Structure 1
C-alpha cells in the first residue's frame, strides 16, 4: 500500500532521487549543476529524502578549492519491491531493494496448467513466502511488478492472449493478485521490464537510447529513451518477435504471417531439432526452455547440427536487431532472458556481426550488442524495478505511460497526486 509520506512528493523530488540513483554517490553542488535548480531547493529536497530514509550521507567528497562537499547515496534497505515473471512454462519471483539488488528468489513450474484463480493463488503464496524468508518489513514494500508476454491491456491489468490457456484471456490478473497480497500490482510486458532493469541497475548511460531483445520461450523487444520505456499507443510496442520475415510464411497465432518468433524462437528451434532426429531431445516434452537449454549445450559443445540451428536463429535475430536499431537509432542492444543466458555467446557474436555490417547509421556510430547484467532473471528483476521507478521517480501509483494506478486490495484505484 502507498504510504502517506508520498502524498506531497513532487516531480522535482523524483528527478533528484533518480539522479542520486544513477550517480551512486553525488554532492548537493553536483545536483544543483545537473538539475539547474537553486541550492536551497536541492538542500530541501535532499533533507526530505534523508528524513524519509531513502538516501544517506556517504562521507566527504574531494575539495575543489573550498569546503569539502558532503556526498549522498541511496539507502538500499529503505524500500523493497517484488518482481513476478509469469512465463508459459515457469514463474520466477524476486525481491529487490531500492538499488535493484536481488535479496530473494524462487522459481516454480505448473502455473500454465492451472486455471488463473488457482495459479495466481500459488503466485501470491510464493510472494509471501519470499518476503518472509528475506525478513522484509511489509510496510517498506512498494508493490509488485507482474510481467508477462503480450499483448496486454495494462490499464485494465489483463492479458489479451489465450496463453497459456483460453481461461487466461481477459482475466484481471493484476487486480486479483493485488487483492490476494494487499499490495499494488503493475502489469507490464516482460521485454519492456527487462529493458528498464538495465537502466536502474546502472548498466547503461542515463541519457542513452537502447534496445532490448528478450528471449524466453518467445521473442520480445523493448526500447528505452532517457530512462523511460517507449510505449506506443497501447503499450504493446517493439514486439519484434511478430515482425514478418516472410510475407508468404505460415500464419502465426498473433494474426500475422511469417513471424520472426516462428523461425528463430526457442520453440521453433526445438521443433527443427526434433525433425533432424540427431539430437537427444524429448519429443513428448512441452517445456521448451528446458529442451532449448539442451540444444544450446550441444551447440556450445560443438555439435554441428545444434550449432547450425543456433547460428541460423542468431542470423534471423540479427536482422531484427538491425531493424530495431534503424527504426530507433539505438546506441546499444541488450540481449536478455533465459534463452540468451544459455546460448548468449553465440547469439551475441552473430548479432553483433549483422549489426556492424548492416545498420543504417553505422558510419555515424557503432551499436554495441551486450548481454544483460541480470541474466536469466532480467524480466523478473525488471518487473520489480518498474515498481521502484513508478513509485519513486514518476509518482505514487503512476506508471511510465500514465495508465491507471495499480489496484488497492479492495479493488479500488488509490488516489494519486500530480508529480
Structure 2
C-alpha cells in the first residue's frame, strides 16, 4: 500500500490535502470547506483511515453537542526523503508523513563533489539514516530533490548549472540514477520551487492565494504559487529574477551572456564580495582588512562577521545591496501582486539589516500602496527550506490531482 495515492480518486486527494494543511480537523470543518454530501465525506474518511493515510486523534471542542472526532495525517504511514543540491552545500532530510524531520545529513559542495561523488554519498547517507531509525526502504514513499537549475524536471535531469566547484554537472540524469540506486521514486525540481512548497505547508495559519518566494545567495532564485500550486513557465525559470535589469548601462554580469545592470550583479553574494574588495583597494578603513588579510580574499563569511561587529563599511555595502534588492522586489510586486512574499537564503538569514531595508524599499515603490498590502516574512524553515520542501514534493507527487 505504501507508495499508492490516497483513495481511488480526486475526492480522497482533496480531503487528504485539507487535513494536511490544517494539521488537525473535524468532519464538520471539512464539510464546511468542501462541496461534498456528508455521506460521501464519511465514506472518504473511512477509506483514508482504513488505508492508513489518516488517523483519528482525539476530540475537538464542543459547540453545544457531542465533541467532534479530529483527524490528522498518520505520520507513521510512510516516510519521505528530501535532498538539496546547491552551489555551497548538499543536504538530506528524512521526514515522516507529517513532514516532521527525523534525521538529516549534510556536506559541502567542494571541488571533489562531482555528480558521482554526490550520488554515491547520497545513497550511503540515506541507507544510514534509515538504518538508525529502523525504517526499511519499502516504507519510503519517495525522494524529492531541490537542485540548482536550469534543469528538466520532467525527465529528472540537471542540465548545466553554473558556479559548481566540481566538474561534470552538465546533463546529470540524477533522478534515474538515484531511483535505480535506491529502488524508490525520485522527483526533481529547482530549489526555489521546493522551498516555496516547504514554506507553504509549514504555515497552517492561512492559505494564501498568491505566494512569492525569493532566495538570495550566490545567485537570486524565485518561485511562485497560485491556489496552492507551483506556477511553472515554458522553461525552468528559477534564476530568471537575477537577470532583471535595474540599470541598463550598469555593471556587467559575471557571465558574458548575462544582462548589463542586472539585479544579481548588485545583490548576490558575489556582488557584495566584489564591492568590498573594490572599497578596500580604494583605501577605505574596515575590519574586513584584518579579517581577510587582503581585498581579494574577502568572503561572505568575513562580511557577515564584520556586519555583526557593526563595521561601518560593511553596513554601507549591505545597505546598498539591500536597497537594490528592494527595487527588484518592488518590480516583482508591481507585476505579480502576490499576497505574501517569503524571503530566504544567506542574504536574508545573515542579519536583520538586509530584510528590513529591502522590504521597506519594496513597499515604498509598490505602485498601488497603500491600497495593495503585501505581507513579507522570513521563511519558517530557514536553512532546511529547500531539502524539507523537496520532501514535501515527494508527498505532493502522490496526492496532487
**Same-fold call, TM cutoff 0.5:** yes
Match of 1:311 in 2: 319
Q: Which moved more, 1:40-49 or 1:292-301?
A: 292-301
Question: 8 Å contact 2:83–2:90 — kept in the other structure?
Answer: yes
Match of 2:283 in 1: none
Q: Which moved more, 1:32-41 or 1:207-216?
A: 207-216
Residue by residue over 1:241-292, the C-alpha shift from the partner in whole angstroms, topping out at 9 and shown as x without a partner, is 2222233341453833133222211122123223334412376999x9xx32
* DSSP 3-state at the match of 1:94: strand
State the distance in 2 between where 1:187 and 1:366 align: 34
Give aligned pairs, total.
389
State the distance in 2 between where 1:189 and 1:3 align: 26
Deviation of the 1:305 alpha carbon: 1.1
Match of 1:354 in 2: 361
Deviation of the 1:113 alpha carbon: 3.2
State the distance in 1 between where 2:160 and 2:57 align: 48
Question: 8 Å contact 1:62–1:68 — kept in the other structure?
Answer: yes
Alignment of 1:119-198 (within 5 A): 119-163=118-162, 164=164, 167-198=168-199
Question: 8 Å contact 2:86–2:109 — kept in the other structure?
Answer: no
Cα gap change, 1:267/1:121 in structure 2, threshold over 3 Å: closer, same or farther? same
1:244 aligns with 2:239: no
Q: 2:272 aligns with which of 244, 260, 269?
A: 269
Cα gap change, 1:337/1:156 in structure 2, threshold over 3 Å: closer, same or farther? same
* DSSP 3-state at the match of 1:113: coil
* DSSP 3-state at the match of 2:350: helix
Match of 1:405 in 2: none
Q: 1:373 aligns with which of 361, 368, 380?
A: 380
Cα gap change, 1:268/1:135 in structure 2, threshold over 3 Å: closer, same or farther? farther
Match of 1:402 in 2: none
State the distance in 1 between where 2:98 and 2:217 align: 25
Question: 8 Å contact 2:363–2:369 — kept in the other structure?
Answer: yes
Residue by residue over 1:35-86, the C-alpha shift from the partner in whole angstroms, topping out at 9 and shown as x without a partner, is 1111111111111211222222122223334433211112223222111111
State the distance in 1 between where 2:182 and 2:28 align: 42
Q: Any unmatched runs of 5+ in structure 2?
A: 281-285
State the distance in 1 between where 2:325 and 2:66 align: 54
Alignment of 1:190-339 (within 5 A): 190-202=191-203, 205-236=206-237, 239-248=240-249, 249-253=251-255, 255-258=257-260, 259-277=262-280, 278=286, 279=288, 280-281=291-292, 291-339=299-347
State the distance in 2 between where 1:239 and 1:389 align: 25
Cα gap change, 1:207/1:331 in structure 2, threshold over 3 Å: closer, same or farther? closer
Residue by residue over 1:346-391, the C-alpha shift from the partner in whole angstroms, topping out at 9 and shown as x without a partner, is 1221122112211123232321221110111211111111111222
Match of 1:364 in 2: 371
* DSSP 3-state at the match of 1:167: coil
Question: 8 Å contact 1:220–1:241 — kept in the other structure?
Answer: yes
- Report the TM-score, using the length of structure 1 for normalisation: 0.86
- Report the TM-score, using the length of structure 2 for normalisation: 0.89
* DSSP 3-state at the match of 2:168: helix
Q: Any unmatched runs of 5+ in structure 1?
A: 395-418
